[in-house]
Amino acid sequence: MTRPDATTIVDPMDAEKHPMSRFLREDRMPHIWCSSCGLGTTLTCFIMAVVETGIDPQKMAVVSGIGCTGRVAGYLNFDSFHTTHGRAIPFATGLALSNPELKVVVYSGDGDIVAIGGNHFIHAARRNMDILCVCVNNFTYGMTGGQVGPTTPLTAKATTAPYGSFEFPFNIPYLAVASGANYVARWTALHMRRLKRSFQEALNKKGFRVIEIISPCPTAFARKNRLGTGLDVLKYYHANSIIQHGADPRDATIDMGGKIIVGKFLDEDRPCYRDYVTENVSRQLGGK
C-alpha cells in the first residue's frame, strides 16, 4: 500500500473522500472502538498535528502494544508496528537507534505502557531515548474485561475490584519527570486544540517526550462506576479539569471524582541517548 504524501492536497468538499483518509488504512474500517470512546478523537488530533507540522509520513514510524489504544498502529497508514503486550517501547528504541531520520512514536494505553511495559518506560525516560510516547489513559484494561490497572484511581470499581481498588495508582506525569523525560504533558480527550498543539511541540523535539491523554472508557470503566455515557464523562472533564502549565507533577494525582490537573508540566532541551553515544564515541576515536 502506498504511504500518504504530506504534500498531497485533498479537496475537503469532496463528498467521496475524507480529508484524512490518506492517513488511514480504510481497509481496516470500521474500527473496533466503542461508541463515545475517546480514542478516535485523540487519533484525529495526532493526524492534524502531523499535517500541520509538515512532517513527511514516510519518515515516521508508529509503534503500539496490545489493547484498545494499540489498534492505532493498525489504523494509521504510516509504517507501523503492532508489537506484543508491553514491548512497544523497546521495539521503538531499536527503530530510533537504527534510523535517526525516523520520527518514532509509541501510541498505546496505560495498561500496556506503565503496567507490563512499565520497566521499559522508566528506562527509556532515564536514557532520554528519542521517542514520543503517547499514553492514552482510561484507568482500566478496557479490551480484556475492565480489570484494575496501574492508573485506576483509589476506590474506583473494576471487574477485579467489586468493592473498589485499594492500590495506589501511578501518576504518569510525575513518573515520567522523575524518570528523566524532557517533555511531559497531560490533556483529556476533550482538549482537542491543546492536545494537537502538544503533539506539534513534541513532534518537533528530540528526546523522550510523554503525552498522557485522559480518555473516557464508557463500556468498561464508566459503566462499572456509574459515570454515565461517554458524553457525561466529557462533561465531567469540562467541569473538573484545571489547566496549570508548569505545575509540580507530584500534585497531579487523579482521585476518583476529583479535579484533573492538565497542562504542560515540563519542556526541556537535553541531549538524547544517541547524541551522547555519538559524541563520546567520536571523542574516544579521535583521541587514538
pLDDT at 288: 54
User: Does residue 146 register a pLDDT over 80?
Assistant: yes
Q: What is the DSSP string of 37-84?
A: -SHHHHHHHHHHHHHHHT--GGGEEEEE-SSSGGGHHHHBSSEEEE-S
Q: Does a cis peptide bond (omega within 30 degrees of 0) precede residue 216?
A: no
Q: Which residue has better confidence, 279 or 161?
A: 161
Amino acid identity at 218: P
pLDDT tens-place string over residues 153-183: 999 999 999 999 999 999 999 999 999 999 9
User: Does residue 132 register a pLDDT over 50?
Assistant: yes
Rounded mean pLDDT of 138-152? 91
pLDDT at 139: 94
User: Does residue 282 register a pLDDT over 60?
Assistant: yes
pLDDT at 248: 97
Task: State whether the Cα torsion 50-53-58-63 is positive or negative.
Answer: negative
Architecture of the 26-286 domain: 3-Layer(aba) Sandwich (3.40)
pLDDT at 22: 86
pLDDT at 286: 72
Q: Domain segments of the chain: what residues?
A: 26-286
